[in-house]
Structure 1
Amino acid sequence: MRESDDVAGAEAGATDSRWLAALMHAAFFLLLAVALARFLLRHPGGARTPWIIAFSAVLAVLYVVGIAWAGPRRSTVRQRVWLSLVVAVVVVLVVLAPSFAWVGIPLFYTGLRTLPTRAALILVALLTGLVIASQVRLAGRWDPDLVLGPPIVAMVAAGVFLQMQRQAARQRALIDDLIRTRRELAAAERRAGTLAERQRLSMEIHDTLAQGLSSQQMLLQAAERVWASDPGKARTHVHTAASIADHNLTEARRFVQDLAPADLAHGLEQALRTVAARESGERLTVRVHIDAGERAGLGRLPDRVEAALLRIAQGALANVREHAGASGAAVTLTLLDDQVVLDVADDGCGFDAGVDVVPGVRGHGLAAMRARVRQLGGDLAIESATGEGTVLSASIPLVRGPGGGWPRSSPRP
């Protein structure tokens, strides 16, 4: 049920209230017409007849004016003055002709809807007493039915109406509270979405631009150290730094365009080999192995899975280059029947695998990798010990499409 459904329910309640008011108005005019016709038939030439006709016309006009003045939701001083005039005219008519007492019955509803509860109950009691007195006067005798019947009917009618009013008030309060709660929930969801998007962008920037800038810094520092002794080697470092800067520029432009990894233009396998070649150098050799299994002919993996695996590989290799002191690293992509597994192993110095933040190491690479894998319902495992190298393994579940392949887009779990 949405907020529009709540509003529709409130509008339906207002429509029901208008129908009830219309019914009471029709009953008032019908009872007035019947009482006037009865009096004219029984007293066609009486001395009171002109007065009865005049007061009946005044009462009808007053009631029509009151309908035009009536507010949709709340009473006003003008409505209360109008109701007092109507009741006064009804009392005069009843004094002149007791049969007009039943005209006051529809005024129960008007009083209960217009006046405060205590004043409305006093009006109901007054009109009920008027009906009893007029009926006893017409009957010419004391009758328990005439004395007890109208009060019982009045109590039932007033009780039912007041209970309906209380239920309607509770329902309006509940709808208002529900609408307010849904608006607050929608605002909270927007804030959560904004924070999630910020986290995603921070991981993208960390895994691409920040790591590229770090590599450029290291290369330029190395070129500065050997510039005088070995200009050729220094130029090689500078050219490599320029190549990384060009790649970072491509990544930055892709951020503006659609935030997709630029390396994935030719598929995940080629992207992993490109990253491995970029990270390889005179101090580190990176090898890539693809264990496709049933991969042939089934198309590419879902976009979000390929992007996550590429970013994890980039982050892991950046950590190997900057912190592991390794001479060799291996990237293995294994495609199983229901999941894809990426392993990055190195022969470096290793670290305590029980922490996501390594002392003396800047950034939040491991935490970002875990967040990426969890967003796709997968797991990230790290095996490492000081002096024994590191193996990072990311596994992400896959769901095959109707044709046996994997859908290009995967839903958020």
Structure 2
Amino acid sequence: MIGMTALAGPSADAFWATSLRRWNAVCWVLFAAMAVGIAALGRPGGGMYEALALLGSVVLCYAILDRFPDNPVVRPHGYLTVLVLALGGLAYLRTSYAALFMVTLPHYWMFGRTPRISMGFLGLATASTLLGSWLQQGWSAEFLGETAVSTLIVVAVGVLIGLWAHSVVAQSTERARLIEELERTQAQLSAAHQRQGAADERERLAREIHDTLAQGFASIVVLAEAARAGMAADPGRSAQQLRSIESTARENLAEARELVGPGGQAGAAVAGSAAPALRRVLDRFVEDTGLSVDADLADLDCDQRTRIALLRCTQESLANVRKHARASTVGVVLARRPYGVELEITDDGAGFVVEESRGFGLDGMRKRVAELGGRLTVTSSVGDGTRILASIPLVRGTEGAA
């Protein structure tokens, strides 16, 4: 309620709000009991009406503050000021001000906004009640022995309880702030993971398209140009190139269907040999380019992801040989090593400066091999050809095949 808003701010929990509503109900009951007591025990003309007026002013201010807690016109400090003056007046009138003092003791902490303001109003209330009693009793034994001592004891207990409650609420508020900050951080982290996942998926699709469809289309373009140029001079060769175009187009269509199909990895753990697929790629390369290929392919078993990586690295390397190397001989070696499988592709072409290469193909091969825990090494220099070495560890269950 209003006290909780003043003490802990918007992060107050339901427990404290419920406790304050109950305390408000207790206050109203005790206000009514005090009014009845003053009217029943007081004597007309003996300060009864003045005491009822002071109590009524406190009740009225409290009711307004309780009814309009968020109204900027209604100031909690105004209510505390009226309470301080009323306590002094009731003490001067020798009424039961002690009951009102104890009932309203938590109000200084509820409406004081800060511990310093609460302590200030509590000190003023203590001074006001002691001043009123002193003006009425003087430096008597009753004032010194009962009134002053009991008032100071009640105030000390109230200060300790108030400081403890304020510390508890402050800790609760800090915990709520930290929890809110943690939830916000988790939401940001989740969004970042989603964005990173989407970026990784786009990169994966781009790599797959580059290694399959793009290479196939490039091969189709080269074969079509060659077939058109040799249509009159060598019809047999052109017909063979057209058949290669047809075969490549069918393979591209199959690759496209696989890319847009479900992306499950159900067959990723199924072992099989990579050599047959590599031989088909090499045979197609020889048929399309006429280059000499020296292949030594060990018939070893590996999982599907490794077979795909070996196949894509071979396709990309041969595509680079066709487009850039101007080579006459290509060597391909697939071998079993103690740590796994090793694919080596060499050519006697023009070579290049590896550090200056900015192509998507080499970077895609490196990432594809790295995803399997392997490493891709590219060695080349201008005029000395190129050597690509892919080393991939084999998963358990496929290491027994050789």
Q: Same fold (TM over 0.5)?
A: yes
- The Cα of 1:377 is off from its aligned counterpart by 2.7
Does the C-alpha gap of structure 1 residues 26 and 332 become closer, same or farther in structure 2, counting only changes over 3 Å?
farther
Change (3 A) 1:135 1:251: farther
Contact 2:47/2:93 (CA < 8 Å) preserved in 1? no
Distance in 1 separating the partners of 2:342 and 2:262:
25
Q: Which residue of 2 aligns with 1:276?
A: 282
- Deviation string, structure 1 residues 176-213 (Cα, Å, up to 9, x no partner): 44444443333333333333223222221211111111
Identify if the C-alpha distance between structure 1 residues 49 and 83 changes in structure 2 by more than 3 Å, giving closer, same or farther. Answer: same
- Structure 2 equivalent of residue 251 of structure 1: 255
- Aligned residue number for residue 197 of structure 1: 201
The one-letter amino acid paired with 2:297 is H
The AA in structure 1 aligned to 2:208 is E
CA distance in structure 2 between the aligned counterparts of 1:286 and 1:251, rounded to whole angstroms? 27
2:111 matched to which residue of 1?
114
Deviation at 1:244, TM superposition (A): 0.9
Count of equivalent residues: 376
- Give yes or no for the alignment of 1:225 onto 2:229: yes
Q: For residues 58 and 213 of structure 2, what CA distance do their matches in structure 1 show?
A: 85
Structure 2: 5+ residue stretches without partners:
1-8
**1:396 deviation in Å?**
2.5
Q: Which amino acid aligns with 1:251?
A: E
Could you report, residue by residue, the CA deviation over 1:25-77 in whole angstroms, capped at 9, with x for unpaired residues?
4664676588679879xx65854799689998997898688666557xxx754
Per the normalisation by structure 1, the TM-score is 0.70
How far apart, CA to CA, are the structure 2 residues paired with 1:240 and 1:266? 30
Once the two structures are superposed, the pairs formed by residues 154-169 of structure 1 within 5 Å of their partners are: 154-164=158-168, 166-169=170-173
Query: 1:272 is aligned with what amino acid?
Result: L
Structure 2 Cα separation of the partners of residues 336 and 236 of structure 1? 39
Deviation at 1:393, TM superposition (A): 1.8
User: Cα RMSD over matched residues?
Assistant: 4.5
In 1, the alpha carbon distance for the partners of 2:85 and 2:329 equals 105
1:279/1:286 contact within 8 Å kept: no
> Aligned match of 1:370 in 358, 366, 370?
366
Q: Residues 79-98 of structure 1: matches in 2 within 5 Å?
A: 80=76, 83=79, 87=83, 91=87, 98=95
2: CA distance between counterparts of 1:266 and 1:304?
A: 10
Q: Please give the residue correspondences for 1:45-194 in structure 2 after superposition, counting only pairs within 5 Å.
A: 46-47=43-44, 77-78=73-74, 80=76, 83=79, 87=83, 91=87, 98-117=95-114, 120-132=118-130, 140-143=142-145, 145-146=149-150, 148-164=152-168, 166-194=170-198
Once the two structures are TM-superposed, the CA of residue 255 in structure 1 deviates from its matched residue by 1.5
Distance (Å, rounded) in 1 between the aligned partners of 2:305 and 2:352: 30
Q: Check if 1:15 corresponds to 2:7.
A: no
Contact 1:216–1:244 (CA under 8 A) maintained in structure 2: yes
Q: CA deviation at 1:290?
A: 2.6
TM-score (norm 2): 0.72
CA separation in 2, counterparts of 1:58 and 1:31? Answer: 15
- Specify the structure having the higher radius of gyration (Cα): 2
Cα 1:31–1:254 shift into 2, 3 Å: same
Cα distance in 2 for residues equivalent to 1:286 and 1:11: 77
Q: 1:260 to 1:331 in 2, by over 3 A?
A: farther
1:290 corresponds to which letter in structure 2?
A: A
Cα distance change of structure 1 residues 161 and 212 upon mapping to structure 2, 3 Å threshold: same
Q: Deviations over 1:84-142 (max 9, x none)?
A: 69838964766666334333445343343334436544432333335545776697322
| 1:194-234: CA deviation from partner (whole Å, max 9, x where unpaired) | 33223222221211111111111111111122112112211
Tell whether the 8 Å contact from 1:381 to 1:394 is kept in structure 2 after alignment.
Answer: yes
Task: Classify 1:24/1:260 alpha carbon distance in 2 versus 1 (closer, same or farther; 3 Å).
Answer: closer
Distance in 2 of aligned mates of 1:155 and 1:290? 86
Give me the whole-angstrom Cα distance separating, in 2, the residues matched to 1:305 and 1:24. 72
Contact 2:375–2:392 (Cα < 8 Å) also in 1: yes
Q: What is the CA–CA distance in structure 1 between the aligned matches of 2:292 and 2:105, rounded to whole Å? A: 94
Q: 1:151 to 1:162 in 2, by over 3 A?
A: same
Residue in structure 1 matched with residue 3 of structure 2 by the alignment:
none
